[in-house]
């Protein structure tokens, strides 16, 4: 076991860091470690950090980096969101966790359509703060509120508005990062190469990102959402085939995802496969109807399947599948960092494809 002695002999580092350090002998160590672990495979791991630091300001990050270097410890950074692979808290060598959960400030500048977001904030917190300042501004990032912006932005970040606006990383216009030497850098001082690398290359590979400055995007006052299910008996196979051929040719304001799962059949004792088509359209129902009839009439959308709401309402709607919320639920639900978090044993992989996947393989995923 490595014993760490943190000495506060740097004039810019305050003694308040004591309240942000959790050693293995601290009674709160396990609860702080486990709070953002979603995959139960990692709840009883033997590879635990020597120390967990939950910095309250930038100086605490700088102190941790300097101390870890002196003691030959690796640093794993997490922002409190999803990490199904456990990369931010499972390491085969002695290490320290920098948990940025306390650095979650968000400043919205409506006039310039920008925002500064600290790396410990979640997407839900960001979306909610934007909606409190403007009804016609949004941000193109992921659909699950508890995802931490730190890892999401540095990994690219995609969601329901990606077809029109691209990735979250495409809208990062500045950042604050602490490098290996403990220096706090911004876009100008870090240089173009590093600024390019942290927007998709994984920010933790290059330093500890403290905050992101992002460019907000315009959203209509009314958007339309729907969640329509079709089983094999309702021609789900044919619809999926057609969806794969036309999804990238639709109006860029339309995003449709498909979730495939096994469900009970209408025939007693039997099971079937169901495909859920979940969508958000940046516009009203009357504009969406002819677009869907032109490109994917096989889905057979009924007017009752579609709901008009605000952009922030569509964010809440996106979690119907994930957490059982309603499009009419109070937007404050997005501030709950644990509501949509379920302890599961799972492994999830997302990828892009260049050509349609054979439907039999799609169906096999549900078995």
Using alpha carbons, list the distances in angstroms from residue 348 to 214, 216, 294, 344, 345.
28, 29, 34, 11, 10
What are the CB-based long-range contacts (under 8 Å, 24+) for 358-362? 359/237, 359/240, 359/241, 362/240, 362/260
Q: Residue 10's pLDDT band (boundaries 50, 70, 90)? A: very low
Contact of 263 with 215, CB cutoff 8 Å: no
Question: What is d(CA 89, CA 207) in angstroms, rounded to the nearest whole number?
Answer: 16
Contact of 99 with 33, CB cutoff 8 Å: no
Contact of 21 with 51, CB cutoff 8 Å: yes
135-168 CB burial, b ≥16 within 10 A, e <16: eebbbbbbbbbbbbbbbbbbbbbbbbbbbebebb
What is the chain's mean pLDDT, rounded?
Answer: 87
Question: What is d(CA 236, CA 106) in angstroms, rounded to the nearest whole number?
Answer: 43
Dig out the tokens for 141 from the structure.
């990032």
Using alpha carbons, list the distances in angstroms from residue 360 to 240, 260, 272.
11, 12, 14
- Is the pLDDT confidence value at 86 over 80? no
* SS3 category, 213: strand
Mode of pairing for the β-strands spanning 271-281 and 74-78: unpaired
> What pLDDT is recorded for position 157?
92
- Is the pLDDT confidence value at 39 over 50? yes
Side by side, which strands form the sheet with 208-215? 106-109, 114-118, 208-215, 172-178, 184-185
DSSP class of 151: H
- Is the pLDDT confidence value at 264 over 80? yes
- Is the pLDDT confidence value at 364 over 80? no
> What pLDDT is recorded for position 333?
87
- Is the pLDDT confidence value at 7 over 50? no
> What pLDDT is recorded for position 4?
44
pLDDT tens digit sequence for 88-137: 888 889 999 999 999 999 999 999 999 999 999 999 999 999 999 999 99
Quickly list DSSP for 275-327: EEEEEEESS-HHHHHHHHHHH-GGG---GGGEEEE-HHHHHHHTTHHHH---T
* SS3 category, 66: helix
Contacts of 4 (CB under 8 A, 6+ apart): 23, 50, 51, 67, 71, 73
Question: What is d(CA 366, CA 362) in angstroms, rounded to the nearest whole number?
Answer: 7
> Which of 166-175, 179-188, 198-207, 319-328 has the lowest average pLDDT?
319-328
- Is the pLDDT confidence value at 28 over 80? yes
Domains and CATH numbers, the chain: 15-102 (3.30.43.10), 106-218 (3.30.465.10), 223-309+337-364 (3.40.462.20)
For the chain, the straight-line distance linking the first and the last C-alpha, in angstroms and rounded, comes to 45
pLDDT tens digit sequence for 147-177: 899 989 998 999 999 999 999 999 999 999 9
Bigger pLDDT: 278 or 318? Answer: 278
> What pLDDT is recorded for position 1?
38
Does pTM surpass 0.85?
yes
> What pLDDT is recorded for position 45?
75
């Amino acid at each position: 076991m490595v014993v760490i002695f943190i000495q506060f002999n740097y004039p810019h580092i305050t003694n308040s860091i004591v309240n942000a350090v959790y050693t293995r002998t601290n009674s709160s160590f396990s609860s702080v470690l486990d709070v953002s672990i979603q995959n139960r495979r990692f709840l009883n791991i033997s590879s635990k950090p020597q120390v967990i630091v939950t910095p309250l300001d930038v100086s605490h990050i700088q102190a941790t980096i300097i101390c870890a270097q002196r003691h030959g410890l690796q640093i794993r950074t997490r922002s409190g969101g999803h990490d199904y692979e456990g990369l931010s808290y499972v390491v085969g060598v002695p290490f320290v966790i920098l948990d940025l959960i306390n650095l979650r400030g968000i400043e919205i500048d409506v006039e310039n359509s920008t925002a500064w977001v600290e790396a410990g904030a979640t997407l839900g917190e960001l979306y909610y703060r934007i909606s409190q300042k403007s009804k016609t501004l949004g941000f193109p990032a992921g659909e699950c509120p508890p995802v931490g912006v730190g890892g999401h932005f540095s990994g690219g970040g995609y969601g329901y508005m990606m077809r029109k606006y691209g990735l979250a990383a495409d809208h990062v216009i500045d950042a604050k990062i602490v490098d290996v030497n403990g220096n706090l850098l911004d876009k100008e001082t870090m240089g173009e190469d590093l600024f390019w690398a942290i927007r998709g290359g994984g920010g933790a590979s290059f330093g500890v990102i403290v905050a992101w400055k992002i460019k907000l995007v315009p959203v209509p006052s009314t958007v339309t959402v729907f969640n329509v299910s079709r089983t094999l008996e309702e021609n789900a196979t044919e619809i999926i085939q057609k969806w794969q051929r036309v999804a990238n040719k639709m109006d860029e304001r339309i995003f449709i995802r498909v979730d495939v799962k096994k469900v009970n059949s209408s025939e007693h004792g039997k099971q079937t496969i169901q495909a859920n088509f979940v969508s958000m359209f940046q516009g009203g129902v009357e504009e969406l109807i002819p677009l869907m009839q032109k490109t994917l009439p096989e889905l057979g959308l009924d007017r009752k399947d579609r709901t008009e709401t605000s952009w922030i309402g569509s964010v809440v709607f996106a979690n119907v599948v994930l957490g059982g919320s309603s499009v009419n639920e109070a937007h404050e639900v997005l501030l709950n960092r644990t509501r949509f978090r379920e302890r599961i044993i799972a492994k999830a992989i997302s990828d892009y494809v260049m050509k349609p996947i054979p439907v039999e393989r799609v169906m096999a995923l549900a078995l």
